[in-house]
């Protein structure tokens, strides 16, 4: 009895996954068909009216991305700009030397076994 229930459950899950995949496939197919019909209607209308058919394009201007980045930089950097009367930052106490740099030694290669 247990095998029968697990087999039926397995079959039901497979059928459900297959149905979900079929729904996704059919919805994508319907979207592609609608897009094709709209494109064909535009082409037919352009041919009937004698006008050239303008292509569907997405205009991309690289300057817009650069200007957006610069605006963002100006927005965030404006709050951190130092005043002229502010004192300069104190020099680092380490002076560019790591504290445990004396302990570093060269690696000696070992023979392969």
5 inside domain = no
89 inside domain = no
Q: Are 30 and 37 in contact (CB under 8 A)?
A: no
Query: What's the CA gap between 82 and 85, in Å, rounded?
Result: 8
92 inside domain = no
Q: What pLDDT, in 10s, does the model give residues 47-105? A: 999 988 888 777 888 888 888 888 877 666 655 555 555 566 666 665 666 777 777 77
Residue (of 75, 55, 59) closest to 67 by Cα position:
75
Q: CB neighbours of 47 closer than 8 A, spacing ≥ 6?
A: 53
For 47, the domain range is 25-53
Query: What's the CA gap between 49 and 113, in Å, rounded?
Result: 83
46 inside domain = yes
Q: What pLDDT, in 10s, does the model give residues 33-52? A: 999 999 999 999 999 999 88
Which of residues 87 and 3 earns the better pLDDT score? 3
41 inside domain = yes
32 inside domain = yes
99 inside domain = no
The number of domains in the chain is 1
60 inside domain = no
Q: What is the pLDDT of residue 102?
A: 72
């Amino acid at each position: 009895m247990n095998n029968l229930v697990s087999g039926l459950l397995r079959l039901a899950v497979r059928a459900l996954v297959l149905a979900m995949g079929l729904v996704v496939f059919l919805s994508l197919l319907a979207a592609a068909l609608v897009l094709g019909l709209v494109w064909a209607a535009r082409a037919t209308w352009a041919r009937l009216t004698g006008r050239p058919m303008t292509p569907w394009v997405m205009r991309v201007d690289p300057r817009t991305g650069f200007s957006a980045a610069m605006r963002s930089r100006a927005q965030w950097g404006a709050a951190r700009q130092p005043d002229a009367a502010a004192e300069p930052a104190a020099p680092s106490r380490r002076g560019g030397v790591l504290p445990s740099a004396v302990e570093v030694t060269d690696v000696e290669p070992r023979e392969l076994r």
